[in-house]
Structure formats: structure tokens, C-alpha cells
Chains A and B, each alone.
Chain A
């Protein structure tokens, strides 16, 4: 072993030495060659655009490469394999040389991979600025060491030390007729640097890019070339759509994708017209159709956002799910004979604002954790919804007069705090916030959407302002004597008012019951209603006057049993699952492996597959803004496309398997299958009607 190892080391030493010598020779380089130089499978030459140069005046030279038929060299991003050409200039002191103005490449499929590069004669131009103070008649020497890989299927590395000598003249340099067409070729293929806003995201296993363009461009036939290696699977075709002023690019990430750069330079090429743009996308959240239209004034000023949040908060007071709580609170204030209104108002405000901030923090934390949850998620738990039904019902019964609360109010806030006073006001604020949150969305959705797209401190500030807005009317009532004096004096009217206030609570309970019904099923609702009856019974029994020890014990046992039953009813109801997905409508069918196969075997049928889940916010948004629109429905009918919808709300192995076929492990996934039986095409994860209609038309 020792002997063998030693031999190995000697052998290795020899190889290293040998290699160092050859490499050294490579670095020391053969003496520079002028004119066209022949290397295996390629001819290379250093050429200039002009026949002479002027002192201090920029001029262009370029590396001309002519691979053999069927061979190619590589672009700045070589694609799935290969290496970009490396160019190393040696120039007189004081000379500046630009970066290579890379002409846009072509896609070169090699086996199951795709490379980006050039076939046929091509030129990689640079601009050289010689020092001023060169005198006419002098020779200016340019040395270039070029190192490349030229490939067909196999690859041959090559290098050359090239030299070009140009005379310095006083007059304007004449164009070199021999290289004119080559430089023109390079200019035609030089992408125009576009200053359009562009963002990219690498969420969901896809590279998604959005570009906001400011001119009319052809909507079909574009190619996408990222200038960074190792971002996408180059062999996958990119999905590119134009929608108004927005280009959307979507393409699967490389298996070997390890992390996104801050900036992603890329080139968009329209080969038919020879149009090409070079762009830089910055890593950022993408914008949905909706937020584009609402945020048209680009970035609204923070003050404006806060004002919107404040107004939205005030408007929330009118929401049916806030009003009951508010009415309770108003009643409390009306009930207070002391002049402690200000403190109560402040405590209430603190409760509201703090709750909004806490809820927003949870939301932001979940967002950071990648959870697909929406505002109002606290009501997604049937447990909480059921408990709120009970709570609102009991409160309603109290207001109706089934039982009395004593002198003060029966706000839930007080129940939580167990006392009147400031704590009670604080918890009323907390309650207002919790029940308000689902109502927040429809009216403040856009503002919230912008808020969660912002940095978290700003987002928190917006939520806090929203809470302040909600608390504002009560705060004003409590704070300004003018307001509080307008409150009616306590009196017998309060009994009537209190009883009237029960009805908003019953309505709130009904609304929550409806939510509960959506979360469970008819049995769940029936159980919960039985629970309500039991609670009502418990209250009624509890208030009966005792007539003896036995009856008293029975009464207490009954109350305990009823409470136990109500709890058990809620517990078992909350565990029920909703019935099978909503029945298929006229325009979509439930997805199944068999149905998809059957449709794919029919050459007349094109298919749109939508894999979705109730808890997937993106899915729901896409359905709302794109799939469920009239434009898409019409397109489905016109182009005779069958729309299959798979529901992954609960785990479904068949759907998991299907997702895996597209190398996904999550929804949404949108796939279209052409009529002809061609390969399926995956649509972007962010849909607009135009994307879907465009995809349907292409089938």
C-alpha cells in the first residue's frame, strides 16, 4: 500500500509538473499571431472596424470567430453546459477597453440540454479608447488572449494570442470594407438597453419576471435569455405574455438553483423583427393585476396610505360585524355616569390598535414563513367561529332580557376582564378588532395589499393607523365633551335600546353560523344549533328559583350537563369536514386522472387544468381575477376547451402525483394541453385574463 501510494505521488508529481509546464506555456503563450488563426474546428481573428485610428478617439475592434459547420461557441451565459469566451486584453498604458457588447445568442439544443451561443461567423466587439498624444504615423498594437470552448456535441477547448496593429492617422479613419458587414451584424444583434422597471421572483419553483413596458411590441414570438447561469433550466421553454403594458415571463428554476441574485440581467429577443432588449430585473415581489390598477400612481406617498388607512378604519365602524360590539361600547359610555370617558376611550383605542398590530405581526411573521394565509385567517378555525356563535348568542339573550347583567353592561370585553373599568374598555377594543378583521378586507383590501408588500415597519404602521381609525369615533365621543354631551341621558329608554341591540348580535351570530356551515356541513350546523338550545336552557334553568335541596341539585346538574353538551356539540361539529367540493358548474369539471387521460386521447379536445386549494390565496385570486372572468369563460367556449379543476384543499395523492409530474409540490398549477396532443404547457402562477385567453387561443 505504502509503495503504491508513493508511486502514485511520484506519478502525480510528474503529471503536475508536466501540467504546470504546459499550462505555463499556455500563459507565456505562443508568440502573438496576426490575421486569421486556425484552431481545431474554429478560425479566430482580431479585426477592427476601421483601417486606421486617431489619437484619443474611440474605435471598435472585435474577435471574429468562425466555427466549423455544426460547431458553436458560447454567450455570456453558456446555458446548461459550456463556458463563455474569456478575453484578456494587453494594451498600451492609458488605453481603455470596454466590456464586450455581446450580440444576442441563439438557443442551441444539445441532447436534453440547451446552450446559448453562436453558430457560423460571428463577432464579439469592444470599444477601445487609445490615449491622447499618439502621433500620426505611429503604429498602435492591440494584443488579445482569447480562451474558448468550441463544441458540437463534444467540446474542444482552444486559445490564441492574437495581435492587430493599426496605423495612427490625423484624418477620420476609413471603414474597413472587409469587416463592415460583421460589425453591422453585431450591431443588429446588440440588444437595446431598456430602462423599463422590471422585477423578478423565484417563488414556487418558477422564475417569474414582470417588465413594465412603455411602447407597443409584438405580443408573440419572444425569446428569453437570462444572463446569469444556474438560474433556470435552459431546456424548458419560457412562457412569455404581453398584457397591456406588462410583460410576464415565467420559466421553471434550475434543479441546481441555489439562490437568487439581487439583480438579474436578461435579454429579450424577437428574432422575426430582430428586436432585442437588455434589461435588469431586481428581486422584488411581483404585482397582481389588481394592485397594478389601484397603485397606478406608482408608489403612493406614505402619508396618503396612512390617511387611506385611517378613513378605512373609521368606515369599519359601519360594518355589520363591528357594529354590535360598537353598540355595546356606546351603551357602556352612555351608562357611565362618571366623567371618566376619556380614559375609557383611550383604553378602548389602545385595545383596538394593539390588537391590529399584533394580528398584523402574526400575519407578517406567517408571510415570512411562507404560509399561504389571508387576512381574516383567525376565522378559518371552526372552533373559534363556533365559540363566537355561542358568545354572540348568549350576549343576545342577555340583551333581550332572558337574564340580567346587573347594573352595567354585558360587553364581552367585561366578561373577559371580569370587571368593568378600564380593562373592560380595553378588551372591548380587542374584541372589536377581532370581529372587524374579516370585514376589513373588502374595503381595505387594496391598502392592506400594499401594506403587506411594504417593509414590515411601514406595514405595521398602516395596520396601527387602521386600528386608530376604527377606534376614532368612540374616542371622539369619549374625549370631546361636545360629543359626550350629545349622548342621551341614561333613562328607561336604555332598556328598549338594549333590547334592540340584541338583534344585530343575533344577525352576527347568523353570519358566523353561515361561516361555520361553509367550514363544516349541515350536521355541524345542526349540532351547533343544539348547543345553542342547550345554552339557552342552561341559562333558563339557572335562573329558576330554588325550591328545596333536591331541586337545587338537579338545577345545578342540568346546567352543568347543558354546558357540557354545548361544548361537546361544538367539539364534534368543528371536526366535521365540509361536503365534497362544490358541485361542478357548467363550465368546469372536477379533475381526475382518468378524465384527463380520456380528454388527451381525444385529438379534438384541448384541456385547461387548474390545481387549486381553498387555503391557497394565490389560487383564489387567480380564479377571481382571471379564470372566473367572462373573457375566459367565453374563450373556453369559443375554443372548445375543457376546464378541469382539481381541489387539493385536503391531501389527494393523485393530485400530489400530478403536481410532481410538473416538478411541483404545491398549488397553484395551471396546465394547458393542446388539441393535437402536443406537450402540455405550464402557465405562470400569476394569471391575468389575457394570459389565460392567449393560452387558450394557442391551443
Chain B
């Protein structure tokens, strides 16, 4: 086989070892499971929602990018759309460490939900950051969609314009909404991975 070795030298780079990056988590692969308590003290696991779409939204209410989408009602709209029209589970996750920006008590979290008229299924308090790290969640807002079979279908930003101005929302592509449409129509999610933009999660 020496000959092939010679042969390979010249061809090496054109063939390369074109292997896609093994991301953790990865689109098309089972999403990491979690077990985190919500503001009511109830524990939620991914496996509890088998058969249902699950949307994860990482948040930090003081982050200007989160404020951008809540002040304009964009996040709440998407929560309602997902839950009412797609029968999805919407989990808002807070991974800020105690003492860091965005960290809230269960009462404060519920108060934020009420005052912002948010509509999540539950708000998960991931104080340890374990769930956030399992999903490699980096910023707020950082969005994930998991299909009824527990397969990760979307990960990335809330929309396509990484600005901090609410007036930019109407012109941006709302990736989560698009992905939900694609999933409902039985299509491939057109933009399954997008750039998450926002504030660093304060693990």
C-alpha cells in the first residue's frame, strides 16, 4: 500500500478530513436532559415533555438585549404563538449565579412574568448553571427548540439583527417563529443554527 501513501501526498489537502464539528449539543441529535426546579418549586425534566415541542429561552431581565425583546412585546408574542398555536412548552431559564445580574428569587421571577405579561409554561431557576452548560447556552436571550422526539431542532439567536434597539425587530428574521412554522409544515428547519447575540450568561 506504499503506493497509496505516495499517491495521497499530493491529494491530501483537497480531500482533507471534511468532518463537521461535533457540537454539544448538536442539531438533529437528542437534546441534553435536565432536571431543574421552577419558581413554584416543581422539578421539570425534558423527558416530562415527550411528544411536545419544547422551547428554551435563556434570560436575564436586566440584559439590554432581553429588555429589547420584552419591552417591544416580541418575546411575549412568541411565547403565546408557541403555546397557543403550536401547543408547545415554553421554558424560560435563568442561569445567573446568586449575586450576579439576572439572578432572581422565585417571587421576583413570578413578578417579572406578571409585570411583563410574559407567557412561559414555567420559569426554571438554574442557579447552578448545570442546565445552561449542558446546552452550552452563552448569552441572553439564547433560544433552543426541541421536537416531540427530544431532538434538538433549533439553537441560536432570537432574531437576525444583533442590535439593541427594539425598532430593529420588525425588519429582522424571527428565527424561532420561522423554525416553528417549518416544524409545523413538516419541513427541514431552514435556519437551524444561528448566531446567538446578547449578554454573556453570568454563570
Which A residues fall within an 8 A CB radius of B?
Answer: 8, 11-12, 15-16, 19-20, 23, 26, 80-81, 83, 110-113, 115, 149, 151, 153-157, 201, 203-205, 229-230, 252-253, 255-258, 285-288, 290-291, 367, 370-377, 379-380, 438-442, 445-450, 452-453, 515, 518-519, 614, 616-622, 624-625, 659-660, 663-668, 685-686
CA distance in complex: A110, B102 (Å): 16
List of B residues within 8 angstroms of A370 by Cβ:
15-16, 18
* Pairwise interchain contact A204-B19, C-beta atoms closer than 8 A: yes
CA distance in complex: A622, B77 (Å): 54
Mostly, the B contact residues are loop
* Pairwise interchain contact A617-B15, C-beta atoms closer than 8 A: yes
* Pairwise interchain contact B64-A111, C-beta atoms closer than 8 A: no
List of A residues within 8 angstroms of B201 by Cβ:
111
Contact code string B96-130 (vs A, CB < 8 Å = 1, else 0): 00001100000000000000010000000000000
The reply on B89 being an interface residue by CB < 8 A is no
Segment among B32-40, B44-52, B161-169, B181-189 that sits at the interface with chain A = B161-169
* Pairwise interchain contact B15-A204, C-beta atoms closer than 8 A: no
What's the least CB distance linking B198 to chain A, in Å? 6
Ranked 10 nearest A-B pairs via Cβ: A449-B10, A666-B19, A441-B7, A205-B21, A621-B12, A370-B18, A445-B10, A617-B8, A154-B101, A374-B8
List of A residues within 8 angstroms of B191 by Cβ:
258
Evaluate whether A290 and B9 lie within 8 angstroms (CB atoms) in the complex, with A8-B76, A112-B203, A380-B4 already known.
Answer: yes
Closest to B166 in A: A19
* Pairwise interchain contact A153-B22, C-beta atoms closer than 8 A: no
CA distance in complex: A204, B13 (Å): 11
List of A residues within 8 angstroms of B14 by Cβ:
285, 367, 449, 452-453
CA distance in complex: A290, B138 (Å): 41
List of A residues within 8 angstroms of B203 by Cβ:
111-112
What's the least CB distance linking B4 to chain A, in Å? 5
Closest to B1 in A: A518
The reply on B20 being an interface residue by CB < 8 A is yes
Contact code string B170-203 (vs A, CB < 8 Å = 1, else 0): 0000000000000000000001011111111111
CA distance in complex: A225, B15 (Å): 28
**Contact sample, A vs B, 23 pairs, CB 8 Å cutoff:** A16-B72, A19-B71, A81-B198, A111-B200, A153-B101, A156-B64, A204-B19, A252-B21, A258-B194, A285-B13, A288-B9, A370-B15, A375-B7, A375-B11, A445-B6, A445-B10, A448-B10, A452-B11, A614-B1, A620-B8, A666-B19, A685-B17, A686-B13
Q: Most chain-B CB neighbours within 10 Å: which of A20, A156, A374, A663?
A: A374
List of A residues within 8 angstroms of B138 by Cβ:
80-81, 113
Q: Which of B3, B77, B200 contacts A81 (CB 8 A)?
A: B200
List of A residues within 8 angstroms of B3 by Cβ:
376, 438-439, 441-442
Evaluate whether A155 and B63 lie within 8 angstroms (CB atoms) in the complex, with A16-B72, A290-B10, A445-B9 already known.
Answer: yes
CA distance in complex: A371, B19 (Å): 10
CA distance in complex: A155, B201 (Å): 11
The reply on B62 being an interface residue by CB < 8 A is yes
CA distance in complex: A80, B191 (Å): 20
CA distance in complex: A11, B76 (Å): 11
Q: Which of B18, B20, B76, B156 contacts A256 (CB 8 A)?
A: B156
List of A residues within 8 angstroms of B6 by Cβ:
441-442, 445
List of B residues within 8 angstroms of A442 by Cβ:
3, 6-7
CA distance in complex: A568, B16 (Å): 37
CA distance in complex: A255, B200 (Å): 16
Closest to A203 in B: B16
What's the least CB distance linking A406 to chain B, in Å? 35
* Pairwise interchain contact B16-A618, C-beta atoms closer than 8 A: yes
List of A residues within 8 angstroms of B136 by Cβ:
255
Closest to B70 in A: A15
CA distance in complex: A285, B14 (Å): 7
Q: Which of A11, A624, A664 contacts B19 (CB 8 A)?
A: A664
What's the least CB distance linking A501 to chain B, in Å? 23
* Pairwise interchain contact B117-A449, C-beta atoms closer than 8 A: no
Which B residues fall within an 8 A CB radius of A?
Answer: 1, 3-24, 62-64, 71-73, 76-77, 80, 100-101, 117, 136, 138-139, 155-156, 162-167, 191, 193-203
CA distance in complex: A119, B173 (Å): 33
* Pairwise interchain contact B62-A154, C-beta atoms closer than 8 A: yes
List of A residues within 8 angstroms of B77 by Cβ:
12
CA distance in complex: A288, B100 (Å): 49
CA distance in complex: A288, B77 (Å): 53
Evaluate whether A203 and B18 lie within 8 angstroms (CB atoms) in the complex, with A154-B199, A515-B1 already known.
Answer: yes
Known A155-B199, A616-B17; 5 more pairs at CB < 8 Å? A12-B73, A16-B72, A291-B10, A441-B7, A453-B14
List of B residues within 8 angstroms of A371 by Cβ:
15
* Pairwise interchain contact B73-A621, C-beta atoms closer than 8 A: no
CA distance in complex: A113, B139 (Å): 10
Closest to A373 in B: B15
List of B residues within 8 angstroms of A258 by Cβ:
191, 193-195
Evaluate whether A113 and B9 lie within 8 angstroms (CB atoms) in the complex, with A83-B164, A666-B19 already known.
Answer: no
* Pairwise interchain contact A367-B15, C-beta atoms closer than 8 A: yes
* Pairwise interchain contact B17-A113, C-beta atoms closer than 8 A: no
CA distance in complex: A519, B3 (Å): 13
CA distance in complex: A291, B12 (Å): 10
* Pairwise interchain contact B117-A11, C-beta atoms closer than 8 A: yes
CA distance in complex: A15, B191 (Å): 30
List of A residues within 8 angstroms of B194 by Cβ:
256, 258
* Pairwise interchain contact B64-A372, C-beta atoms closer than 8 A: no
* Pairwise interchain contact A229-B195, C-beta atoms closer than 8 A: yes
* Pairwise interchain contact A665-B19, C-beta atoms closer than 8 A: yes
List of A residues within 8 angstroms of B64 by Cβ:
149, 155-157
List of B residues within 8 angstroms of A452 by Cβ:
10-11, 14
What's the least CB distance linking A607 to chain B, in Å? 22
What's the least CB distance linking B99 to chain A, in Å? 11
List of B residues within 8 angstroms of A665 by Cβ:
19-20, 22
CA distance in complex: A217, B141 (Å): 43
* Pairwise interchain contact B21-A16, C-beta atoms closer than 8 A: no
* Pairwise interchain contact B10-A446, C-beta atoms closer than 8 A: yes
Evaluate whether A256 and B17 lie within 8 angstroms (CB atoms) in the complex, with A111-B202, A445-B10 already known.
Answer: no
List of B residues within 8 angstroms of A625 by Cβ:
9
Closest to A621 in B: B12
Q: Which of B9, B20, B76, B193 contacts A624 (CB 8 A)?
A: B9
List of B residues within 8 angstroms of A12 by Cβ:
73, 76-77, 117
* Pairwise interchain contact A81-B15, C-beta atoms closer than 8 A: no
Closest to A152 in B: B101
Closest to A18 in B: B71
* Pairwise interchain contact B11-A374, C-beta atoms closer than 8 A: yes
Closest to A155 in B: B199
What's the least CB distance linking A230 to chain B, in Å? 4
Evaluate whether A8 and B7 lie within 8 angstroms (CB atoms) in the complex, with A256-B196, A367-B15, A685-B17 already known.
Answer: no
* Pairwise interchain contact A253-B13, C-beta atoms closer than 8 A: no
What's the least CB distance linking B126 to chain A, in Å? 15
* Pairwise interchain contact B23-A376, C-beta atoms closer than 8 A: no
List of B residues within 8 angstroms of A255 by Cβ:
21, 23-24, 136, 193
* Pairwise interchain contact B117-A618, C-beta atoms closer than 8 A: no
CA distance in complex: A650, B59 (Å): 44
* Pairwise interchain contact B195-A230, C-beta atoms closer than 8 A: yes
Q: Which of B16, B72, B80 contacts A204 (CB 8 A)?
A: B16
Q: Which of A379, A518, A618, A624 contacts B13 (CB 8 A)?
A: A618
Q: Which of A11, A23, A229, A253 contacts B165 (CB 8 A)?
A: A23
